[in-house]
Amino acid sequence: MLAFTGIVGILAVPQKKSASSEMERKGMKRDLDRLMEERNLDGFLVLGEGHGPVMRYLTNGGFFEGALLLKPRGKEVTLVHGMMERDTAAATGLRTVNREDHFNRYELLKEFEGDRLAAGAAYISRAMEMVGLRGRVGVYGMQDAGASLALMAKVKEQIEDIEIVGEYGQTLFSQAFVTKDNAELEILRRAGRHTCSVVGDVQAFIQEHKVGRDETLLKADGEPLTIGDVKGFMRGRLHANGLQEDHGTIFSQGRDAGVPHNAGDPMMPLQLGRSIIFDIFPTTEEGYFHDMTRTWSLGYATDEVQEAYDQTKEIFDRVMAELELGRPMRDYQLMTCDYYESKGHKTARSHPGTEEGYVHSLGHGIGLEIHEGPNFSHAAGEQAVLLPGHVVTIEPGLYYPSRGYGVRVEDAVAYSEEGELIWLTDYPYDLVIPMNG
C-alpha cells in the first residue's frame, strides 16, 4: 500500500535534475514513448511498493517509500521521493523532486481535515499537475488493489481532464521488460555466477554428511539431515553472495519432485537414490532474477530415474544447439513434445492437463520478474520469435509422482543487443552426486 508516511503535497515548482540525468538509457527504456503511443496513452503514473518491478526498472534498482514516478509522453520521467532518500534518488539519473522541499504532509492532512484518502489523492493529483500529466494516464506499480481503486477514484474527482487506464496481460511495462539492454545483461551475468556458486556450496555441504544404515544422511549429532537444514544453509550462502530468496526455493525429493512446483517438505530427511529437484531463483540487490534447476540423486540413481534424466538432458542439449535469432519460439516446444512423445511420455500437447510426463512449456523469460515474456508455448504464434535482448530459461522435465520421482534441467540464456548468445548458467549436469560416507 501507499504508506501514509509518503502522503505529501507537491507545488508547481521547478524540478531538480541530477548530474547524471543525461545518462544513456538503452533497450526498451528508450521506447517507452513508442509503447505509450501504441496504447494511445498520454503518460503514465507508477506508485506503490518500492521493491515493485516497475519501480526498480525505472530507478535502476533504487528503493523508495511512498514515491511516485510520472511521465507525460514525450517528456522525461520524474521521480517524486522523500527527503531521506535524496541520495538514492540522485543516483537514478532521473529528474527528481524532493517532497519535503515543497509541502508538508501534516499541512496536507490539515487541509483535508484528517481525510487520509483525500490527502493521498491530493499528493498524486498535484504531482500530476506539476509535470503536466493529463489525458489518458496508464497506472502501474505494486500496491493493494483496493487502495489503488480508492486512490484513483479520488484523483479523478480532483482532476477533471484525465482518464485512468489499467492494463491486463501484456502491459506497457511487461512488453518493455522483455528486451534487456547490455547493462541489464551484465547484472544477469553476475546473478548467474553467484547463483551457481551457491549451488556448488550446497552440493559440497550435502556431500560432507555421513550416510546412515538406512541410506539417510546424518548430521554430526546423529540426527537426519533434512530439506529444511539444506535450505537454511543455502540461505546463508545466498546472503554471502549478495542474493536474496525473494520467491522461495524448490528443493523437493522423491514423490514431491514429481510435482513441478512442490517446494519440498522441510522435515523430510535426505536419502540416497531418490531424485531431488533443486530449482533456485534468487534475486540480486537490483531485483533481477536468475533461474536454474539441477536434478540430483545422492549416491546412486535407479534405472528409471537415470533413463528419464538421460532423455531430458538429450532434448535439453538438442534445443540448446538449435537456438537461433528470428526462429519462432513455439518450434522449440513442439520439438520437445515430439521427442518426449516418441519416448512414450504424455505431454502438455498430447494430453492437455496431464499431471504426469512432460506437463509444462519449455521455458519463459526472466528479469525483474521470475516469469516474464517471451514464452516457449506451442500455442504461441509465428510472430513470437527470439530477438536480441531476450533472456529466457530452457527447462524440459519429466514428472511421475505416482512412481516417486521427477527430473528437470534448467539453464538461463540471453542474447545481447548485438545478437550474441550468452550462457548465464554454468554448472555441471551430473545426476548422481557421490557421497563420502
pLDDT value of residue 437: 63
How far apart, in whole angstroms, are the C-alpha atoms of residue 211 and residue 189?
Answer: 36
pLDDT value of residue 29: 65
Beta-bridged to residue 280, according to DSSP, are 292
Domain that holds residue 35: 4-176
How far apart, in whole angstroms, are the C-alpha atoms of residue 129 and residue 43?
Answer: 12
pTM: 0.88
Same domain as 226, residue 148 = no
How far apart, in whole angstroms, are the C-alpha atoms of residue 380 and residue 378?
Answer: 6
CA–CA distance from 233 to each of 196, 201, 228, 229, 236 (Å)?
Answer: 15, 9, 9, 6, 5
CA–CA distance from 399 to each of 192, 249, 351, 430 (Å)?
Answer: 26, 18, 14, 19
pLDDT value of residue 28: 55
149 and 352 Cβ atoms separated by less than 8 Å? no
Same domain as 232, residue 331 = yes
pLDDT value of residue 73: 96
Residue after which a domain boundary falls, among 156, 176, 196 = 176
298 and 217 Cβ atoms separated by less than 8 Å? yes
How far apart, in whole angstroms, are the C-alpha atoms of residue 85 and residue 98?
Answer: 9
Q: pLDDT tens digits, the chain, 437 residues: what are they?
A: 222 223 332 233 333 443 333 333 344 566 899 999 999 999 999 998 778 899 999 998 888 888 999 999 999 999 999 889 999 999 999 999 988 887 667 888 889 999 999 998 999 999 999 999 999 999 999 888 898 899 999 999 999 889 999 999 889 999 999 999 999 999 999 999 999 999 999 999 999 999 998 999 999 999 999 999 999 999 999 999 999 998 999 999 999 999 999 999 999 999 999 999 999 999 999 999 999 999 999 999 999 999 999 999 999 999 999 999 999 999 999 999 999 999 999 999 999 999 999 999 999 999 999 999 999 988 877 888 999 999 999 999 999 999 999 999 999 999 999 999 999 999 999 999 999 86
How far apart, in whole angstroms, are the C-alpha atoms of residue 392 and residue 371?
Answer: 9
* Dihedrals phi, psi of 236, to nearest 5 degrees: -65, -40
Same domain as 161, residue 64 = yes
* Dihedrals phi, psi of 364, to nearest 5 degrees: -155, 170
How far apart, in whole angstroms, are the C-alpha atoms of residue 264 and residue 338?
Answer: 30
CA atoms within 13 A on the CB side of 167: 21
Same domain as 201, residue 138 = no
How far apart, in whole angstroms, are the C-alpha atoms of residue 141 and residue 54?
Answer: 6
pLDDT value of residue 19: 34
Residue after which a domain boundary falls, among 139, 159, 176 = 176
- 14: Cβ–Cβ under 8 A, 6 or more apart, which residues? none
* CATH number, residue 150: 3.40.350.10
Grid coordinates given for 299: 549416491
Chain center to CA of 4: 28
Same domain as 262, residue 113 = no
Inter-axis angle of helices 227-240 and 182-207, nearest 10: 140
6 and 63 Cβ atoms separated by less than 8 Å? no
Same domain as 357, residue 229 = yes
Same domain as 428, residue 409 = yes
Same domain as 157, residue 191 = no
* CATH number, residue 357: 3.90.230.10
Same domain as 160, residue 17 = yes
Neighbours of 414 (CB within 10 A): 24
Same domain as 378, residue 233 = yes
Same domain as 353, residue 205 = yes
User: How many structural domains compose the chain?
Assistant: 2
Same domain as 74, residue 207 = no
Residue after which a domain boundary falls, among 143, 176, 209 = 176
3-state secondary structure of 347: strand
How far apart, in whole angstroms, are the C-alpha atoms of residue 152 and residue 27?
Answer: 30
How far apart, in whole angstroms, are the C-alpha atoms of residue 305 and residue 35?
Answer: 47
Strands 292-298 and 405-408, bridge-based pairing:
unpaired
